[in-house]
């Protein structure tokens, strides 16, 4: 199409770099989700609310490394915390460190179900660990999760063929009830399905899941890797639920790699050396100090009011995107959860073409959004950026319509 031709013409350097990447990295990538056709733009750096590519273009960043950057790139308190750490000497030691304690204390203070914190290097590792803890605690094997639930592409959540993992349709309390039994070690759910297109849990669904887990002596695991950015105390506080374990990641590392399992002491203590028959859980870089200081600085500047403001702005931008699409006769739906949203084609048949054309058009209009329609806001964006994003969607819809 014309859009693809213009995209190619404007990104010759990215095309060259992508060819080079393909010679040493499978598919020229490090992650499945970041690939798109005809080839992805190659980014060089980010500053506040912007990212820059090898072809010299500047974009407003609404991917924020898949919701992990809530203050944008090069947030001054994060930069100074990391610089101070580097100058002081050493970023990882085979010993517990005050910087880890500080971040753990912040999480315990914030999340009411968090009595103890176990750090990992990613949200994926944290969800794997949570499953191990649940199996260890209950002496059972079965994990119940949702179709298209995403807890990382790691066992036991990665393959639909994974043994002892049952998948049920999301937001279907009857299917959930049918799946849970005395063999269930844990039910694991997200407050909204992020990777599946930002689909919020129906009212009462998560409460019901927690009650079911309790009834059958299983653990209830809530994956707040994405949702913590939407709610100061976590979505669990808003919903009045107390998960046995909560998985965290993304923003709690301030842009650096991290994950954590937090929750009831009796469960977390399964990883304590003082517990007889404890679970061995290790990782050379667990609680990496760069991530801990960056995460602590990030959370310090993220109060309830800041989060509310981001969520409100996201709601307003959603309305503007819907209006712009309607003005051009393009049928879309936009799902939302806090400061994250996802644009969906209203008609299933139009899926792939709309996704591709909208995404490439946004890039041409200077907005870096995710290929499958996801966008999220950071505090690095002010009202003028938000106006520019809305205008870019308007122009993108105009391109698609003609």
Q: Residues interacting with ligand PLP, by CB under 6 A? A: 66, 122-124, 127, 150-152, 190, 194-195, 223, 225-226, 249, 259
d(CA 121, CA 260) in angstroms, rounded, equals 8
Nearest to 313 by CA among 380, 217, 377, 257: 377
* Planar angle of CA 285, 289, 295, nearest 5 degrees: 115
Q: What is the CA radius of gyration of the chain?
A: 21
Nearer to ligand PLP, 14 or 193 (CB): 193
Nearest to 355 by CA among 378, 339, 337, 375: 375
Nearer to ligand PLP, 127 or 138 (CB): 127
Q: Which residue is nearest to ligand PLP (CB)?
A: 123
Beta carbons of 368 and 336 less than 8 angstroms apart: no
Strand partners, 51: 46, 59
Strand partners, 119: 260
DSSP state letter for 201:
P
Taking the complex as a whole, how short is the minimal distance between the CB of residue 65 and ligand PLP, in angstroms? Answer: 10
Nearer to ligand PLP, 146 or 389 (CB): 146
Taking the complex as a whole, how short is the minimal distance between the CB of residue 337 and ligand PLP, in angstroms? Answer: 11
Taking the complex as a whole, how short is the minimal distance between the CB of residue 239 and ligand PLP, in angstroms? Answer: 16
Nearer to ligand PLP, 127 or 342 (CB): 127
Nearer to ligand PLP, 145 or 390 (CB): 145
Nearer to ligand PLP, 130 or 176 (CB): 130
Q: How many CA atoms lie within 13 A of 339 on its CB side?
A: 32
Q: How many CA atoms lie within 13 A of 164 on its CB side?
A: 15
Taking the complex as a whole, how short is the minimal distance between the CB of residue 308 and ligand PLP, in angstroms? Answer: 22
d(CA 176, CA 371) in angstroms, rounded, equals 31
Taking the complex as a whole, how short is the minimal distance between the CB of residue 243 and ligand PLP, in angstroms? Answer: 13
Taking the complex as a whole, how short is the minimal distance between the CB of residue 32 and ligand PLP, in angstroms? Answer: 11
């Amino acid at each position: 199409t014309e859009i693809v031709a213009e995209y190619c013409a404007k990104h010759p350097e990215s095309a060259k770099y992508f060819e080079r990447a393909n010679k040493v990295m499978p598919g020229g990538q490090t992650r499945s989700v970041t690939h798109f056709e005809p080839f992805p733009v190659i980014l060089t750096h980010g500053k506040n609310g912007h990212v820059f590519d090898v072809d010299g273009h500047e974009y407003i960043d609404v991917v924020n490394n898949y919701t992990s950057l809530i203050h944008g790139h090069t947030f001054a308190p994060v930069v100074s915390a990391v610089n101070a750490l580097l100058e002081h000497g050493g970023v990882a030691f085979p010993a517990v460190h005050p910087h880890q304690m500080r971040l753990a204390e912040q999480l315990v203070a914030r999340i009411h179900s968090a009595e103890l914190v176990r750090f990992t290097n990613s949200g994926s590792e944290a969800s794997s660990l949570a499953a191990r803890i649940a199996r260890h605690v209950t002496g059972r094997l079965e994990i119940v999760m949702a179709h298209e639930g995403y807890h990382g592409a790691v066992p036991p959540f990665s393959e639909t063929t994974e043994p002892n993992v049952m998948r049920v349709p999301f937001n279907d309390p009857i299917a959930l009830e049918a799946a849970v039994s005395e063999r269930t070690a844990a039910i694991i759910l997200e407050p909204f399905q992020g990777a599946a297109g930002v689909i919020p849990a129906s009212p009462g669904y998560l409460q019901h899941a927690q009650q079911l887990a309790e009834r059958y002596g299983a653990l209830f695991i809530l994956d707040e890797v994405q949702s913590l950015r939407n709610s100061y105390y976590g979505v669990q506080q808003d919903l009045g639920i107390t998960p046995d374990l909560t998985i965290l990641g993304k923003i709690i590392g301030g842009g650096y790699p991290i994950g954590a399992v937090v929750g009831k002491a009796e469960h977390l203590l399964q990883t304590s050396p003082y517990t007889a028959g404890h679970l061995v859980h290790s990782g050379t870089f667990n609680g990496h100090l760069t991530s801990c200081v960056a995460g602590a600085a990030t959370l310090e500047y993220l109060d309830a009011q800041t989060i509310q403001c981001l969520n409100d702005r996201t709601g307003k931008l959603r309305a503007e995107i819907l209006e712009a699409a309607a003005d051009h006769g393009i049928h879309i739906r936009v799902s939302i959860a806090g400061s994250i949203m996802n644009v969906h084609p209203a008609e299933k048949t139009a899926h792939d073409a709309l996704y591709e054309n909208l995404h490439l058009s946004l890039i041409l209009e200077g907005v870096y959004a995710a290929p499958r329609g996801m966008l999220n806001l950071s505090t690095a964006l002010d009202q003028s950026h938000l106006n520019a994003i809305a205008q870019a969607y308007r122009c993108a819809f105009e391109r698609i319509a003609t």
